[in-house]
């Protein structure tokens, strides 16, 4: 299966409580139009190896047919995709809630939120 065939995709840290909650909210608003993939899932590893760079784990990513956008650069394309009239449904997504980090503290919320605003990457897909 080609990655471009299953786009749009949100790639998020599925070992972080806050990131998992963020993915659930995105999935709720997207109503199944966007495939949610964890960084540490088999598909997430494949995506990271094939199209992303060394900064892949530092932020969430929104991947469409043309570009992979990470962090701050991913917010606008993600919102645009959520608001689009596209009725294509992705596969049913079960978001795993396995938190292996100390991410339920106020400090963690601040660090994750600030990293969203400070990190930004765009990778054009071939």
* Binned average pLDDT, 10 residues per bin, the chain of 126 residues: 81 86 91 90 90 86 92 92 74 56 66 72 83
How far is the C-alpha of 7 from the C-alpha of 78, rounded, in Å? 12
Q: What is the span of the domain harbouring residue 72?
A: 3-124
Q: Please answer whether residues 4 and 125 qualify as being in contact, where contact means their C-beta atoms are separated by less than 8 angstroms.
A: yes
80 DSSP 8-state letter? H
Number of domains, the chain: 1
Q: What is the pLDDT of residue 117?
A: 72
pLDDT of residue 11: 93
């Amino acid at each position: 299966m080609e990655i471009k065939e299953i786009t749009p995709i949100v790639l998020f840290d599925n070992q972080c409580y806050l990131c998992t909650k963020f993915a659930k909210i995105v999935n709720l608003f997207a109503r199944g139009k966007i495939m949610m993939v964890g960084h540490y899932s088999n598909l997430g590893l494949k995506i990271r190896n094939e199209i992303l760079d060394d900064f892949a784990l530092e932020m969430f990513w929104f991947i469409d047919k043309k570009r992979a956008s990470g962090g701050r650069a991913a917010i606008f394309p993600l919102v645009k995709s959520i608001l689009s009239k596209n009725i294509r449904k992705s596969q049913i997504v079960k978001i795993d809630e396995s938190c292996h980090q100390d991410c339920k503290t106020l400090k963690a919320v601040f660090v994750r939120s600030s990293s969203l605003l400070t990190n930004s990457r765009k990778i054009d897909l071939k």
